[in-house]
A and B are shown apart, each in its own frame.
Chain A
Amino acid sequence: MSLVFNSNKVRYDGTFEGLLSVVFASYEYKVDVVAIHEPNEQMGLFANDFWQINTDESKAKRVLFAIQKKFGVKECRALYRVFLSEDSHRAIMLFRYIKRLIDHEKDYRKAYHLDEVIYVKEQLKKIRREVHRMHAFVRFQQSRDDLYFSVIEPDFDVIPFIGNHFEKRYGDQRWLIFDKKRSYGIAFDLKSIAYFSWTDDVFGKQLKNILADSEEEYASWWRSYFSATNIKERKNMKLHLRHVPKRYWKYLTEKQEH
């Protein structure tokens, strides 16, 4: 597979381990990688001018271990978060960032004159903001059998990062959060959190049949509260929309018609 060693443009398999394998290979073959292509990327004219790097779990682990030894497991988690950002520059930027961390004696995580350091900081901020938004915007509906369920469509794949927060506060109720965009979610059964995947929006079809009797009551009380607590003399829709962008309205109880 990996026939061309002399190219500084590479392709990987799109996984985090794959990216770490690219880092390893760049040391192994002393290649300064300048571009990292995603597996599904259209390659155009120079389709052959790249080096396909195979994912090697043991090599990936060695890279991760080097980072962990220097900066702790927290830093590894942060890198994984950035990887999950789905941003198109994440691969090359993370590659450059990781190399900086490994190459220098000094702690380069705060070297904000470098593009890749600022990039990682900003991606983390974006993801943190989305996680925070989900802490805020998840709206549970109670089902007849006492399950509190919620549907979300976040900008980033944040399901892996939000369970802990909800487990801490809703330890005494069964709940479930489903990311419809990515067709999977997490469910809590009073003991632990489990991942599940659905190809279908199960709720959408039979919502009316499964709701608890008091659910619509609470929802309408909440809508009354939301409109009564507003001060009309201070209306500022621009500010309102900045805080609650329209794309989130779909699942916000207070934004539904009565």
Chain B
Amino acid sequence: MNSKVQEKLSILADAAKYDVSCASSGSKRKNKAGGLGNATGMGICHTYTEDGRCVSLLKILLTNYCIFDCAYCINRKSNDVKRAMFSVKEVVDLTIGFYRRNYIEGLFLSSGIFKDADFTMERLVRIARDLRLEHNFNGYIHLKLIPGASDELVHEAGLYADRLSVNIEIPSEKSLMAIAPEKNYKEVYEPMNYLKEAIQGYQKEKKIVKSTPLFAPGGQSTQLVIGATPENDFQVLQLANSLYQSQNLKRVYYSGYIPVSQDNRLPAISTPPLIRENRIYQADWLMRFYKFSVDEIITKEQEHLDLDIDPKLAYALRNLHLFPVDINSAPYEMILRVPGIGVKSARMIVQARRFKKLSDVHLRKMKMAWNRAKHFITYQGQKKFNLNPQAELIKNQILFSSSQKSASQLSLFR
């Protein structure tokens, strides 16, 4: 028993790890009397792998057998890898055993497609149902929707899971069909649309009838693979923006393509595009937390985000006419746009300035990235400000000062 489970776990965790979603937050599921688990409040990363990624959920595939042959995927039919399959009971026991020991916040279950979409989806749903109904488990469950699964199964999944996701993976349908001949956007968007409607329906009903059951309280997310196909950052971010705006997604994850295939339809790269992935995440942050519109971050002409500097600094350098910002009088939204000032320090500034006109002495104590911010602000008692600032000059100064600190941009993020 032991060594068999161990081997399955190794194979099916390895096969699931390219799905980067790790969130365990945003649900509202409370523990019930005599039950196990609680999925309210903030997410918890119980540990981090050596690649620096959060481990919050037991992230596994039910099986890595797959009838599809998507070139970008390690589990494609034609790939020569060891295959395995968990039983329902094994997944349930692992989830509960790990949860009781405080290793995890819950389960993230996905699967290769065996037989057909509904057959696979039904198994995933059965595991979630067992955990909820048989074992009174109220921890976090993230289920992957299998493209092409029926509405009934998607609906049932929503009743047991905290979050659901269906991965778009390839950021344009043309590219998707070139490297994943059995897939198309229709089968991805159908369950996504169904879920969007269902989630909104349940939320409306909940406002009137308090006993309305939870339905995917953590919302839905998706993933885009970066660098496996020729789409540029403009296309990726436009797509992400439309997913946030019209599909109401909670999160879009980006996964730098890791070469898992020698297929000649894919680029021959040796290392994943980590810096590019990082810049796209930063742009995503600007859209979600900094009130930037996608057009302010990137235009069609630019094609790609600047790899040297983050997109917020790039925005400021392109729009020097909007700066410097007066710390003591500018509105919050504008202070939030200053490179080096984050959401927290922007709030501190707005609150503190009601007591006293702020000078650099105060600002430096608020833990902002002073070496960046100082180029874009004015404050009380400021000695001089460059009246004719030049983007190139500021960029070089900032790059120089941050290279001296040797803090790599990459590790500062995520």
How many A-B contacts if CB must be within 8 Å? 169
Tell whether B219 is near chain A: CB-to-CB under 8 Å: no
Contact of A230 among B16, B35, B51, B102 (CB under 8 A): B51
> Is A173 in contact with chain B by the CB < 8 A criterion?
yes
Residue numbers in B under 8 Å from A168 (CB-CB) = 30-31, 38, 40
Interface of B is mostly: loop
| B369 in the interface (beta carbon within 8 A) | no
Taken residue by residue from 48 to 61, chain B's Cβ proximity to chain A (1 for < 8 Å, 0 otherwise) reads as 11111111001110
Residue B117 at the A interface, CB < 8 A? Answer: no
Contact with B along A216-258 (1 / 0, CB 8 A): 0110111011111111111111111011100000001110000
Q: Which of B10, B52, B54 contacts A224 (CB 8 A)?
A: B10
Most buried by A among B13, B51, B271, B414: B51
Q: How far is the CA of A172 from the CA of B17 in the complex (A)?
A: 31
The number of chain B residues with a CB under 8 A from chain A is 66
**A218 and B258 within 8 A (CB):** no
Which residue of chain B has its CB nearest to the CB of A122?
A: B367
Q: How far is the CA of A196 from the CA of B234 in the complex (A)?
A: 59
Instruction: Tell me if A226 and B31 are in contact (CB < 8 A).
Output: no
- For B38, list chain A residues within 8 Å (CB): 168-169
Given A111-B355, A170-B100, A173-B100: A236 and B52 within 8 A (CB)? Answer: yes
Q: A224-B9, A238-B411 are contacts. A252–B47 as well, Cβ < 8 Å?
A: yes
Return chain A residues, CB-CB under 8 Å to B217. none
Closest to B136 in A: A172
Indicate if B275 sits at the interface (CB-CB under 8 A).
Answer: no
Is A171 positioned at the interface, with any CB of B under 8 Å from its CB? yes
Segment of B63-71, B299-307, B309-317, B358-366 engaged in the interface with chain A: B358-366
What separation, in Å, do the CA atoms of A242 and B98 have in the docked complex? 24
Produce 1/0 per residue, B16-54, CB < 8 A to A.
111000000000001101111110101011111111111
Contact of A228 among B17, B274, B348, B349 (CB under 8 A): B17
Given contacts A118-B365, A231-B258, contact A113 B35 (CB under 8 A): no
Taking a contact as CB atoms under 8 Å apart, the answer to whether B355 and A139 are in contact is: no
What is the CB-to-nearest-CB distance from A236 to chain B, in angstroms, rounded to a whole number? 4
Q: By the criterion of a CB under 8 Å from any partner CB, how many residues of chain A are at the interface? A: 55
Which residues 162-203 of A have a CB within 8 angstroms of B?
166, 168-173
Interfacial residues of chain B within 347-380, with CB under 8 A of chain A in the complex: 348-349, 351-352, 354-356, 358, 362, 365-366
What are the residues of chain B within 8 A of A171 when measuring CB–CB? 31, 33-36
Looking at B6, B103, B139, B351, the one whose CB has the most chain A CB atoms below 10 A away is B103
Flag whether A136 is at the interface (Cβ < 8 A): yes
Q: Is there an interface contact between A228 and B101, defined as CB atoms closer than 8 Å? A: no
Q: How far is the CA of A218 from the CA of B31 in the complex (A)?
A: 24
A5 CB-CB contact with B under 8 Å: no
A115 within 8 A of partner (CB): yes
In the complex, how many angstroms separate the beta carbon of B15 from the nearest chain A beta carbon? 9
A:35-59 near B, CB below 8 Å:
none
Whether the pair A136, B47 counts as a contact (CB closer than 8 A) is yes
Q: In this assembly, does B94 line the interface, its C-beta being within 8 Å of a C-beta of chain A?
A: yes
Query: Please, how many angstroms separate the alpha-carbon atoms of A172 and B256 in the complex?
Result: 41
Indicate whether B389 reaches chain A with its CB closer than 8 angstroms: no
A150 interface residue (CB < 8 Å to B): yes
Sample of 8 A–B contacts (CB below 8 Å): A110-B352, A111-B351, A113-B356, A140-B100, A172-B36, A222-B101, A224-B6, A225-B58
